[in-house]
Structure 1
Amino acid sequence: MLLPPCLVLAVSTLPFVVSAIPALRTSQWPIQIPEEDIRLSQSNRVMEQNDTICDAGSKQWSGTVNLGKGRDMFFWYFESLSHPKDDPLIIWLNGGPGASSMLGSFYEIGACLVDKTQNSTYRNPNSWTNLANIVFIDQPIGTGFSYTEDRKLWAQTLQDATLDFDKFLDGFFALFPQLDNGKRDVHFVGESFGGQYAPHYAAATRRDFASIILINPWIDPVYHVLARWEHICASGKDYMHFNQTLCVHMEEGYSTCETHGNECQLTQNPSICLEAFNVCLSGIQKWVEMGMEHRDWYDDRNKCLKPEDCDSGFSPVRRYLDSDSVKKALGLKSSFKYDPMNEAFNEKWTNGVDATVPSTRQIATLLDAKDTKVLILNGNNDISVPTASLVRTLDNLPWSKHAAYLTKKLSPWYYKDSSGSQQLGGELKQVGNLALVTVNNAGHMNVHDQPIATLSILQKWLKSRKLSVE
C-alpha cells in the first residue's frame, strides 16, 4: 500500500518523442570501493555492483550514508547510459510513508525491472537512465534497506526527515563529488507521499535544484478525499459501475468537507487540518469505502480479486530484493529482512502531526522564493490522488503567477508510441515555474503504467524545463 485509503494550456501540439537509446559510455570518474560490510555505522560505505543483480548497462553503486550511530541511509546509484559526465542527476524518492525507493528502481523507472515470474531482472528499455544519472534513496530512516529495529532511531516527523535528508546529501556528494560540481543540473523527484517529502526537503535545504518533479503527489489530503466524489461519480467513468446511492451520500457531504478543507488550506494548522480531514472521512470517504469492493484504489481500471492483483509491484520486488543473493551483493547479512513497505512506520506517520497538513506553502516557496521549476504528473485513473484534486490545488495555489495559471486552460499533449504512431498522452498546462501534466490510461504509478509517454515528457523537461508556449 502506498497511502492508506482513509488518508488515502497554450501548448505546442508537436509530439514529445524519445530519442533512440544512446551508446553506453564508460564511467567518467574513479570510485574507491571499501571492502567492509556497508551496515557498519559511523562512516559512509559504497560498493560497486556488477550486472549480477541488475544488468544496468552502466556503472552502478550501492551504499549507505551514516547519519549517526545505527542510522544508515541506503542508496543505489546508476550512471546514465548516455553521457554520465555531463547528464543531469535525478534524486528519486518513493512515498508511503514508509515505502522503499527500490520500488521506483525495480518496478517503475530504473535500469532493471523485476520479472514477476522468474524472480530475476531484465533491462528496462524505457529507463530514466537513458537520460540521466539516478540515485534511489531509501528514506526516512526506518524504510527499506535503511531499516533498523530500534524505532527510536526512525525519523519521527517531516522536520526530522528533512534534517536527515540534508545530511544525507552532504555524505552522498562527498562520495561522488563530481555530481555536485555546480555545473550539473540536479532534479528532485517525489512520488505519492513524496509530494510531502520533496517540497519540504527542497524548500528547507540550502541547496538549489534545477526542478522538482512530483508524481501523483500527496499534496493536500483533504482535497484528495474531496475529489474522490468527482472522480467516481461525476467524471463519466461509467465502467466503474459505482453505486449511485453512495454517490448521493457523498455529494451531500461535499460542501461541509469543502468548507473545512478551505480553512485547513488557509491556516495550515495541524489541528484544523486534522478536524477537516475527519469531517471529509465521515462525509465522503466512508461512502467511497462501501463501494470499493474488489476495486483498486490506485488504478480504477483494475479488479482486485486476489491481493497480488493490486499490490503495485510490492510482492515481486519484495521477493527479489529479500533474496540471499541480493543481500549478499549489497553486503547485508542473510538475516536482514527487506520489505518495500514498513507498515509500522506508515501507521506511525499517518497518525502523526504531519499527516493532514498540505505541502502547498513549501511548493509556493519553491516557485517564488527559490525560483525552482515544479512539474507535476498525475495519472487520470488514480482514486487515491485524483487528478481533479491536483487541478484544484494548483489553481488555488497562492504564488506570484496565480492569476495567470488559474486562467490558462489545459491543452492536449502527444507522444509517439513504440510503433512510431502519435498518441494522445493527456492534458498539460504550464505558466512560469509551474507545470501540470495529466496522463491518460495511468494510475498512481503513472510512470510505470505509461513509460514511453512519461519518458517523452521527462526528455523535454530535462532539456528546457518548458513544456508549453506561454
Structure 2
Amino acid sequence: MIGLFNENGPCEVVQVAQGKFATEARDWGWDRGSNMLYIDQPNQVGFSYDTPTNCSLDLLTSNLYTPQQTLPNSQPANTFLNGTFSSLNVNNTANTTEIAGMAIWHMLQGFLGAFPQYAPNNRSAMNVHLFAESYGGKYGPAFATIWEEQNAKRANGTLSQSKTIEIKLKSLGIINGCVDDLIQAPYYPDFCS
C-alpha cells in the first residue's frame, strides 16, 4: 500500500503539530484524472486481515506471540510491538500467484457487479489499467494473463457471459517491479545504501 499512502493516493498524512497528524488532499494524486481502486493482496498482507488477531511481534527474533505478551525486561521498546495481525493460517490465503490472480478476478467480478457504473461494457470506452509495484512485477503480468484467459473463456462460452463481466485490460504498468530475482537481488544492498 506504499503507492496509496506515499505516492499516488488521494490523500497523505501530514504533521500539523508536535505529535499531531492529519490528512490532506494530495496535489498530484492519480485520482484527479481517473477512478482508482487500491487492492492490498493477497489476504494476510498489509491491512488485509483474514481473522484479526491480537499478537506481539518481537522484531529481534521475528517471533509472533499469541496472546499478546509484555515487553521483555532487557529489550528496547521499539523492538517489540503489540498489535493486530492476521491469523497467519496458511490455509486462509493465496499461496501461488495464479490463485492470487483468480482471487482478484473474482473480487473484480463482485466489485464491478455491485458498482456497474465502473464496469466497462461494449458501449463504453472505459478500460481497466492495472498498475503493480514491487512483487507486482511478477503479479502484474500473471494477473493480466489470467484475466485475458477468463475473457477468452467468456468469448468461447466456457464461462457464462450473463454471469461474468469482461475485464477490458488496456494496459499494465509496473512500478519499481521485481521482474528478475537473479539479476536484481545482488543489487539490493547497493539500492539500499
TM-score (norm 2): 0.62
Greater relative contact order (CA < 8 Å, ≥ 6 in sequence) = 1
The residue that corresponds to 2:49 in the other structure is 147
Query: Do residues 162 (structure 1) and 162 (structure 2) align?
Result: no
The residue that corresponds to 2:130 in the other structure is 188
> What is the rounded CA distance, in whole Å, between the counterparts of 2:132 and 2:95 in structure 1?
19
CA contact (8 A) 1:142 1:151 kept: no
The residue that corresponds to 1:21 in the other structure is none
Matched residues, number: 132
The residue that corresponds to 2:3 in the other structure is 104
Query: Runs ≥4 in structure 1, deviation > 3 angstroms?
Result: none
Query: Do residues 123 (structure 1) and 25 (structure 2) align?
Result: yes
SS of the aligned residue for 1:156 comes to: coil
- What is the aligned-residue identity percentage? 30
Residue correspondence of structure 1 range 253-402 to structure 2 within 5 A: 288=189, 297=192, 300=193
Instruction: Give the deviation of 1:201 after TM superposition.
Output: 0.6
> What is the rounded CA distance, in whole Å, between the counterparts of 1:191 and 1:141 in structure 2?
17
The residue that corresponds to 1:433 in the other structure is none
TM-score (norm 1): 0.27
The residue that corresponds to 1:60 in the other structure is none
What is the CA deviation profile of residues 297-354 of structure 1, one whole-angstrom value per residue up to 9, with x for unaligned ones? 2xx5xxxxxxxxxxxxxxxxxxxxxxxxxxxxxxxxxxxxxxxxxxxxxxxxxxxxxx
Residue 141 (structure 2) aligned to one of 194, 199, 214? 199
Higher strand proportion: 2
Residue 184 (structure 2) aligned to one of 221, 224, 236? 224
What is the CA deviation profile of residues 418-467 of structure 1, one whole-angstrom value per residue up to 9, with x for unaligned ones? xxxxxxxxxxxxxxxxxxxxxxxxxxxxxxxxxxxxxxxxxxxxxxxxxx
Residue identity matched to 1:145? F
> What is the rounded CA distance, in whole Å, between the counterparts of 2:40 and 2:49 in structure 1?
9
CA contact (8 A) 1:187 1:211 kept: yes
Instruction: Give the deviation of 1:225 after TM superposition.
Output: 3.1
SS of the aligned residue for 1:126 comes to: coil
Instruction: Give the deviation of 1:108 after TM superposition.
Output: 1.2
Instruction: Give the deviation of 1:211 after TM superposition.
Output: 0.6
Q: Which runs of 5+ in 2 are unaligned?
A: 51-86, 152-166
What is the CA deviation profile of residues 87-119 of structure 1, one whole-angstrom value per residue up to 9, with x for unaligned ones? xxxxxxxxxxxxxx2x32221111101125633
Instruction: Give the deviation of 1:202 after TM superposition.
Output: 0.8
SS of the aligned residue for 2:109 comes to: helix
What is the CA deviation profile of residues 270-294 of structure 1, one whole-angstrom value per residue up to 9, with x for unaligned ones? xxxxxxxxxxxxxxx8xx5xxx6xx
The residue that corresponds to 2:170 in the other structure is 210
CA contact (8 A) 2:127 2:168 kept: no
